[in-house]
Copies of this chain bind each other. A is one copy, B any other.
Amino acid sequence: MKILATPLPKVRICAIGHWPVDRIDHGGFLILDDVVQKELAGIASLVSYDCKEKIFVQDTPAQYIYIPHSGAVRVAHQLADGRNQIVAFFMPGEPFGLGGNGVYLNSASALTDCCLIRIPRDALHELCNHEPRLQQDCLVGAMAQLRLSQRHLLIVTHQRVLKRVADFLLECSHQPEVFDSGRNVLNLIMDRSDIADYLGTSVETVSRTLGKLEEDGLVKRLDSRNLWLDQSRLTAVLNN
């Protein structure tokens, strides 16, 4: 981890679909008051992590919340039996590290090299108290997270792994950062083991399932990290 000395970039929060349209800019980010931006700049810092570096560990004191500025992050929960369940992936603008009274509920690590905006919880809490607008935004942010989590639940409870993978790929294809909707090509930012841990299955099964999808022409593996998708036929898989 390295604290960057450069001036803090504007805090951007992914907003599309969560906030009213008049609060969203052309890039799909939440529009924050200049005053709020300045106040956030006063308490936040910009930090960088190398790929695979740990950001925080579950059950340790939770000082900060983070918002990716560039790169991607993986948040997971370790269980007593050694399982490592990935709870969510976070892209630029999606805040993580919330929840949990004073301790982190999960662990976070860098999926790629990344720059994060880091905000101390107590200072943010303070700020919320005299900026009701920001408080409101936090609430909507928490709701958005809740929605993601419930969506994830629906994905991992598909009985057949084929559906889980199809649903997962479709979910990814809604992220413009990783999906080229002109060529229908999805750029996977995570490896097979991350996908397995996210879907509650094994690497072998993920690999085999992609094989089967490719056999049937719903997917083409350009290379291990880039997939061409037939979105409509993948959607059809979910109806059987």
Contact = CB atoms under 8 A, between A and B. Distances in A.
Interface in A1-27: 17-18
Contacts of A189: none
A149 B154 CA distance: 11
A135 interface: yes
A70 to B, nearest CB: 25
A98 B153 contact: no
A18 B101 contact: yes
Contacts of A163: 81
Given A87-B153, A157-B85, A98 B200 contact: no
B238 A85 contact: no
A218 to B, nearest CB: 16
Contacts of A98: 143, 146
Contact of A153 (B18, B138, B142, B152): B152
A69 B166 CA distance: 41
Interface in A122-164: 128-129, 132, 135-136, 138-139, 142-143, 145-147, 149-150, 152-154, 156-159, 163
The contact size tier of chain A is 35 or more
A135 B129 contact: no
A111 interface: no
A240 interface: yes
A147 B105 CA distance: 8
A86 to B, nearest CB: 10
Given A135-B136, A200-B157, A143 B81 contact: no
Contacts of A145: 146
A105 B151 CA distance: 10
A9 to B, nearest CB: 26
Given A77-B154, A85-B153, A139-B139, 15 more contacts: A79-B238, A81-B163, A81-B239, A85-B154, A85-B157, A99-B147, A100-B147, A105-B147, A128-B136, A139-B142, A142-B143, A146-B146, A152-B153, A153-B156, A157-B200
Interface of A: 17-18, 77, 79-81, 83, 85, 87, 98-101, 105-106, 128-129, 132, 135-136, 138-139, 142-143, 145-147, 149-150, 152-154, 156-159, 163, 200, 238-240
